[in-house]
Structures are given as structure tokens and as C-alpha cells.
Structure 1
Amino acid sequence: MSRIKAFLQSPSAGGILLLVSAALAIGVANSAYSDQYFHFLKFPLGPFAVEAWVNDVLMAIFFLGVGLEIKHEMINGELNTNAKRILPTVAAFCGVMVPAVIYFIFNHGNPMYHRGWAIPTATDIAFSIGVVSLLGTRVPVAMKVLLTTLAVVDDLIAVVIIAAFYTESLQFLYMGMAVLIFILLMILNKRNIFHPLPYVVLGVVLWYCIFKSGLHATLSGVFLAMTIPYRAQYSSGKWISPVMQWNSALIKWITFLILPLFGFINAGVSFSDFSFNDLFHPVVLGVSLALFIGKQVGVFSTVYILVKTKLVDMPVHATWSHVYGIAVCCGIGFTMSLFVDLLAFPPSHAQEMAKVGIFIGSIFSGVIGYVVLRYFTPDVSELERKDD
């Protein structure tokens, strides 16, 4: 029992469970139960099918968690000063642009595939942190912080991309209602009202309005997170942080239920019609190479240029092999990449090919990143002794 408890409390638990759920989905989708699996995805539960409950409703809670994390980092974390923001922000932007360019190089000739450019631009926090946490003291704390903050900025960019590029049409009546609800939530914030009930109630209404407006409903989670007070004071004078309380309440549900469900619902790819030639499909090549090569080139080159030009300092107790290993791990793009794939392509061959590219690029990034950090970097304790 103690081992199970230790596993559930470990930073790698979320990534491992997500991997297991994805592997289970692939296994079932290619077994004798494949028909039942795909029928289950479309099975109606009230107003939505199963996959819609996960992708539109539960993932809004995931994005709420992302929004809370971003708010914490911006106010009292690793993004709370301009000096701290420079390195992860610039690295994240370059880590988005280079993969997008690589994807477009392989798919510029087919307009049908252009919408997939954003699929390989995101880093999966759970997987990447999970890989790094397995390495213990091989990775300096400063590099773990860099990876985490870079992934947070990456998620923020992904939210903007989803809102700006994957909205088909807008229903302005519902958009106006959503803005009104957002204003009401901000008024609650300004009046030091921090009881969760009004935020939950208005958050559900906000989700509905955004869902009907044409924007993706999951964006409601980010908007709601923006309105949760970071600090609040009881009448007795005691200070609390509602943002951190909400984050603590949600993190286990997100890690142990929502993300594994998302992986199981969306990772199921049937390889019954897959051929060796499909490995050279432009979407497969574009996504996989953009994740594996584009991410590491974008992130590593940015850190190298900023450090060499003395615009930022080298992370403490880190070597260039540490930086390269972390940059490679940024190519693990599972959760957000799968999510963008669902928005970019309708259920089709292109969507399935993108999933294959995500699997290939993420697996190579995780394995090579682990090997580099495990076997080609010095132990942090050695670097600390040299500094002493």
C-alpha cells in the first residue's frame, strides 16, 4: 500500500497513467473489441456523446487547471517578473514557430492539411515532467523549473491559437452573454467574494455561452481561472489563496481521471488499414518531425542565443547537455497535440495520420530526451561540489 501511495504522489504518476490509458486505447482499437470501442465513443449520455463529454466538458476543467497554473506563475511563481519571463517565453514562442514551419514544409502543397499546422506546437506537461522526474538528481532544479514554466507558456500560446484559428463562426448573442458573465465574475473578484459556489454556477453558465458562441467550450476554463481571486481575506483578517485552493482541489481529478479518460477516448487509432507507406504521409512526417526536430531546434537555439548574448544567465548548475535534453523533451506533445488535432481535422484519414505522427514524435522525444539526460549529463551533485 505504501508503494501505491508513493506512486500516486510522484510527479511521474500523471504521465505514466496517461501513457497506460493511451496504450490501452490503441490495444482495444486494434482488437476484436474495436467496434465496441468506437461505438462507445459515440454512445449518447444525455445531451452529448461520451467523447463530447470528455472533450468539451471534462477538458474545460483541465483548461481551468491550466489557467490556474498560469495565473499562479504570473503572480507568484516563475513568471512573476520580466527577467524570469524572458527565457521561457522566448523559448516557448520559438518552440511553437519552428515546428509550425516544419509541418508546413511537408504539407504546403495540400490545402486540406494546412489546418494541422498547430498540432505539433504544444508540449505535454504531464509527460515531459514525468520523464524528467524519473531522472532524479541528473537534472538541475533550475532546468526542471525552466521546463515547467516553458510548458505553461506553451499552453497559454495554445489557448490563444485555439481561440484565434480554430473558431469556425461566432454567434454574437452568446458571445455577448459570455462577456457579461465574465464581467460578473470579475466583479465578484473585486469585491473579495471568494466562496466557490457563485464562481462554479457562473462558470457553468459561461461554459454554455461559449459552447453556443462558436468558440471551443474548453476556453471557458481559462476565462474562469482568470477571475478566481489570487488572495482573499476573511473578516477575521486571515489571508488565503483561492487560486491555490482551487488548484489543490482539481489537480488529482485532472491527473487521475480527466487526462487518463482523455487519453483513452482519443488515442485509439486503428491500424487495420495502415500501411508502411503511410509512415511517409505528409501529415505523419510533418507532425512527427516537427515535434522531434522542430521543438528541440526552436528551444535549444533560443536558450543558446540568449545565454551567449548575455541577455539571460545560464540556468544554475546546468550544462549545455542538460539544456539539449530538456529541449528534446519539449517535443513530447501528447495531450494538447491530440486536442488540437480534433479541432484541426474532422474524423478522417488526416486526423488518424496526425495521431500517428503525434505518437512517433512524442515517443522519440521522450526516449531520446531521457537517454541524453541520463547518460550524457553530469550528476547535479558533482556540479554543486565544484561550485563549493
Structure 2
Amino acid sequence: MSSPATPAAAPGDLILTNARVVTPDHVLTRATVVVRDGRIAAVDDAPSRVPGAVDLADDYLLPGLVEMHTDHMEKHFMPRPGVLWPSPLAAVVAHDAQIAASGITTVFDAISCGQYSEGSMRRQMLADQIAAVKHARAEGVLRADHWLHLRCEVADPCVVEIFEPYHTDPMVRLVSLMDHTPGQRQWSDISKLRQFDSDKGWTDAEFEARIRERLEDQARYAHKHRAQVLAMVRGRTDIVLATHDDTTEAHVAEAVAEGATISEFPTTETAAATAHAAGLGTIMGAPNVVRGGSHSGNVSAVHLACEGLLDGLSSDYVPASLLQAAFHLADEIDLPLPTGVAMVSANVADMVGLPDRGRIAVGQRADLVRVTRADGVPLPREVWRDGRRVC
């Protein structure tokens, strides 16, 4: 990959050398990446002898990971059931630190507009979460590049009034349409929902009453609210629309008709195949890969990867799973490492409209992560965003 046209090192360049550099097509050994003014200026398939070059000691060098759907910030705002952390800014910064330490340099914080389980306190947290992310950005204290993904729970009676103040916000770049009503999509198997809600302490009669209430809400609101949310985002050419937990061909057809371009967490192979054939990017959970299956009993992400139906991954509720999943796919099903890495970087960046990142290639943003392996586990050692070390 080196050539006579490769620019010579200039004062102020960051030179990372003696690394296994994962490019879009290859893993280059003992390679060098030159960073200048926050961009990748050169990629050479040979070590550098320039004084001051940083020796990565044969560790991997990957593009910074791109996360388009993480619920992880909620854990910092509500670290215990019913407990809201008193400083929203501190909660965001703690979340950001764990995101960056996991090798994620671009993150779409998935914030719920509406809720589908009692006691989640998501309505109370929403305004504080959005304001705190903006505050942290303004203060320059964030390591990763943060954007907003608003998750619209269409069967919630209040979703439209919750979403309306934010639908023109320029930080909102991704909107997903969700319906977690029991008996369909993610909760097709009611027994899995009963297990998920086991901490509520409900009796069987109380659980069944709650299901009836949610089914009534869906019948009353879901179709109408879906149309209203779509109408609000229709004029935003910078917003990417995703559908969530597609289970049937009809779900995918509806999403295509509405202009969605991403199918998040399809629950069946049929839905994933239909979405893939329709040109929707398919996203599955990285915990599904690492754990060897879905906690809801849905289709295996590894199986979809084997069938060529997986385009990208989301860490969902475990930030560290994103990097682990990329290497797990390479180890377990012999997926080429560049292909697995693209599922957590370039492919996702393209889906969310950020093609300037996610690849180690000349001209791309210098978002990079140094990775070592200990006992086979890939671990981030250093992280750079725009050529500046942040971890």
C-alpha cells in the first residue's frame, strides 16, 4: 500500500507504526498510519523509522467504532431502580468515558420517547439526557462524538407530545419506530416478557392485566402515532429512519413504504432476509454475538452473519461487546476480520450518514483504536478521535 506518492512526515504529525492495521480490505502487518490535522494522511505497509513514531508493538489498529443504538446512558442516569442521579452532566461524562474506553469514537445515544415498562422513568429522564449531552458538548468534555437517536414508542399515549419538541433539533440524526406491545415483534414469546419483567414482582393476574392495557394502547394509538412521527421527520433530509424488531415480511414492507433505511434487530431470519433484499441495512446486537444468542429468544446474529444477512452491529446495552463481536465473528465463523470490523465501523457510519469515518484510509477522520488481545479477548489500549488521544 506504500507508494512514492505517500507524503513525507511533517512536523506535528502523529505516526503510528509497527501495527496490524485493519483496512477495509486487508490486515497489514508491521504497518504505519500517518495522521495530519485530524485526518489520515498516509497508510503504509511497512514500519516507519521516523523519530517520534509511536511503536504499537504489533497490536491491532482499527478505525474508531461507530455505535448507532446504545441504551447505556440510562444506566448512569438511573443506576438503581427509582434512583435518578443528581447531576445529569456527571452521568453523561461517565457514560462517555466508558463508551470511549470501549473503542467507540462516534455514538448515537438512544433516548426513548415513550416507555413500554412501568418504573423505567424514561419520561422523566428524556429532557435531562438531551440537555446534558448538549451541555457536555458545549463544555468540550466529551471523548466521543455524540449524536442523538430518538426511539419513538408508537403505542405510548404520549409519544407524539414527547417527540415534538425535538424533531427539528440538529443533533437528532436518527429516529426509530418501535412497538414493544406483547405478543409481537421482540415479545412474540410472552414467556420471555414475563421473565424480563420478573423484577416487578407482579402476580400472574397483574401481569395479564398489564398486557391487556398495553394491547388496548396499541389498538388506540400505534397506527396514528406512527403516521404523526413520520410526518414530523419527513422534511428532515439529515434524519435517518429505522424500523425496530421487524418479525414478518409485512413489517419490512411497511418500513420500506415509510422510507426507513435501517432494520434494527430483526427477530427472525425471514425479516432479516426480506430487509436485506429490500436494501435496508440490517443491525443486530453485539451481545447476541458474544453471548451466542438473543436474550429474547430471537434469531441468532451469528446465524445471520453466516447467511450473509448481517450488515452491522450495535452494542445495545454493553459498550464493550462491539469490539468483542467483531473479533468473535472472525474467530468463530472465519469471517475476514476487515468484514467484521466494518460491521462496527464503516458499514454503520454509512448507514447513519457519516461517510467521513469508520475506515483506515487516506482522507478519513483519524478516529482510531489500538487493540491488544489478552486470553483471546480484544481490549482497547489507546483511542484517538480526530487524531487526538482521548483514552
Instruction: Give TM-score, length-normalised by structure 1.
Output: 0.23
Higher helix share: 1
Instruction: Give TM-score, length-normalised by structure 2.
Output: 0.23
Higher strand share: 2
Larger RCO (alpha carbons 8 Å, 6+ apart): 1
